[in-house]
A and B are shown apart, each in its own frame.
Chain A
């Protein structure tokens, strides 16, 4: 039987494990210190834990990280790391350095169930949820770990479709027993799963980003099937009902599609539906994926769209395109790798 990895366990979970082994409670804190503060990758390296305790732990548990199996580096410094999860399963993490910031975009699932028309990850279908340890492994195994300033859960998968593991990973990033980072360094993105939004807002202090992409329900559902289940107005009502303090931020992601969502009527409707929500809109250039019927809006259109929203009083930024030369849009690298592996299987 494969040993269970302790890496990714919360302190409460570690305490339950050591209690089961009749070990003193403080051993759990020692383990979390070694894993999350000193970043060791084996039980053997935990020098202040007794040999007997380590032997007991090692019977059914291990501590290990998984190294990346591939990396691509862009001309602009963006790096895309590919991590194997299980045989034939891969996830991606994108490291994006920028002036005094360095952001890591992490995955929360292998593949995705949501089937958005513009997304490459969706083409893999859904292959599984990541554990908290597998989410954190993308961060801890990163060669640039010490440079990281921000984490965004915007890689492969829908974080709120795997919320319990995402919340555990955030706890470990922010808790005193973990990395102790400010939750303001973390942003979690969702396509708008209402029960998940409610739970996330109540159980963490990290920032929220919502993939909006079209303010009209009938048009949004053509891009994002989730609109058939959780309607945008109700998503916005949910956000509106939450008391965002000064520190916590909600933003809306808006990929610009030529002739689809980049017209004046979209600006007007965005202003109408976002009324009363203190927020920011991030406009994103679309990186076309194979076979897509969608095209990116022109730079002129994006700038005009930004100006139109600003005129309506909405803080609007245009996200710089990064890593275009290395397939930086999530899912491209892992889908390529999956296809390559599947072909190998056939021979």
Chain B
């Protein structure tokens, strides 16, 4: 049997840091490894400190890794990540995880920064015939909306219980799913977000006849 493989962190350089919305950042790093859209990386500022996991939010044909995060005020890492400047050192793992997308007509469901793995899938050319449902609180929380419209060959539904704006479903994404007249039961449903989102969406899908083995979840923890 092989010796347990530790999640090894390698030194890399931050290429850029952009605040794309209030307290929400996209960081990009030099890319050295291949990856499958939907995978994540572990990130730390010091190899001896605990790492945190972030979905890759860039395509596998792009020359850099990008991650998307919002500052967790009581978080261990995100307040420090937000302070980083281009050229500073961070420690990053090889991509890992198996929240892989497919080329099928899947449904993608995300809230907030849970959009990250789907951005990676879109940027990797997997946007054909997909339905993407994204929940957010403000207009600016629909991260990458223009890019999504450009890359997604399918339905893009934005849901917000706070925003009242044409083109945006005026309630939570869970309400959108509950009230959908027709919800296909033969599709795969990929969900990414908080555990509460996963549990709530999964309950709705199962209640509406989707088999649990068609629901693939990536939980932020």
Contact = CB atoms under 8 A, between A and B. Distances in A.
A125 B200 CA distance: 9
Nearest to A237: B4
B219 A115 contact: yes
Contacts of B203: 123, 291
Contact of B215 (A113, A194, A222): A222
Contacts, number: 83
A237 B1 contact: yes
A122 B199 contact: yes
B156 interface: no
Given A240-B1, A291-B206, A293-B206, A228 B97 contact: yes
A115 B199 contact: yes
Interface in A307-330: none
Q: Which of B5, B40, B195, B203 has the most chain A CB atoms inside 10 A of its CB? A: B195
Q: Which of B206, B213, B215, B216 has the most chain A CB atoms inside 10 A of its CB? A: B213
Contacts of A194: 4, 7
B22 interface: no
B173 interface: no
Interface string A211-251: 00000010101100111110100100110110000000000
Contacts of A112: 195
A113 B195 contact: yes
B194 A126 contact: yes
A143 interface: no
B219 A113 contact: yes
Contacts of B40: 229
A25 B5 CA distance: 43
A222 B221 contact: no
A231 B218 CA distance: 13
A114 B4 contact: no
Contact of B98 (A222, A228, A291): A228
A32 B6 CA distance: 37
A125 B4 contact: no
A163 to B, nearest CB: 10
Interface string B24-38: 000000000000000
A117 interface: yes
Contacts of B169: none
A165 interface: no
A221 B214 CA distance: 11
A24 interface: no
B97 A238 contact: no
A240 B215 contact: no
Interface in B171-204: 194-196, 198-199, 202-203
Q: Which of A194, A222, A238 has the most chain B CB atoms inside 10 A of its CB? A: A222
A291 B212 CA distance: 12
A195 interface: yes
B207 interface: yes
Contact of B5 (A115, A229, A237, A276): A237
A222 B207 contact: no
B82 interface: no
Given A125-B196, A126-B194, A126-B196, A237 B2 contact: yes
B79 interface: no
Given A125-B195, A291-B206, A114 B5 contact: no
B3 A115 contact: no
Contacts of A217: 98
A318 B139 CA distance: 53
A42 to B, nearest CB: 30
A221 B195 CA distance: 15
Contacts of A231: 98
B53 A225 contact: no
Contacts of B51: 195
B50 interface: yes
B68 interface: no
A222 B97 contact: no
Given A114-B219, A125-B194, A125-B195, A221 B98 contact: yes
5 contacts: A111-B195, A114-B219, A115-B219, A225-B219, A237-B2
Given A117-B202, A122-B199, A195-B51, 8 more contacts: A113-B194, A113-B195, A195-B7, A222-B213, A222-B215, A229-B53, A229-B96, A237-B5
Cβ-closest 7 pairs across A and B: A125-B196, A241-B4, A113-B221, A238-B4, A225-B217, A237-B4, A113-B195
